[in-house]
Amino acid sequence: MIEYLTLILCCQLLGELAVSALNAPLPGPVAGMVLLLAYLLVKGGVPEPLAQLSDSLLNNLSLLFVPAGVGVMLHFDLLGNELIPLSIALVLSTLVTIAVTALLMVWFNRGQSESGQSGSDSRQ
């Protein structure tokens, strides 16, 4: 299991290095996840020890939010000073996320219904 934890951390490190080297507007861990996905696609699946490790990490995910919560409490005054812009950004980003999700669902469902209809037409 330690080798898969090392794999995850190395992918994150490589993602951080790639983002820094390319000056890309992307978080390093996201680039690391893409690298891990590419590795898993080449490997042809998720090995069982990696699945067990990821389940363990997900079960303890709440512990990873403790530093963020401490940061919020530490900078509570700064957040209070910027309450209106932060609130506007939060509401707008939520609305944009809902709208994009709805549009993608309509688009994907339209594609499925068209492929389903064409498949039923070819059988007749």
Q: Note the pLDDT tens digit of each residue in 5-29.
A: 999 999 999 999 999 999 988 899 9
Of 36-45, 52-61, 69-78, 106-115, give the lowest mean pLDDT range. Answer: 106-115
What is the per-residue DSSP string for 55-71? HHHHHTGGGGGHHHHHH
Q: Minimal CA–CA distance to 53: which of 34, 36, 35, 30?
A: 36
In order of 4, 16, 31, the CA distances from 24 in angstroms are 27, 10, 10
Q: Note the pLDDT tens digit of each residue in 78-120.
A: 888 999 999 999 999 999 999 999 999 999 998 777 766 655 5
Q: Minimal CA–CA distance to 50: which of 96, 112, 101, 3?
A: 3
Q: Minimal CA–CA distance to 5: which of 69, 55, 41?
A: 55
Burial class (CB in 10 A: 0-12, 13-18, 19+), 87: exposed
Please report the pLDDT score of residue 7 as a whole number.
94
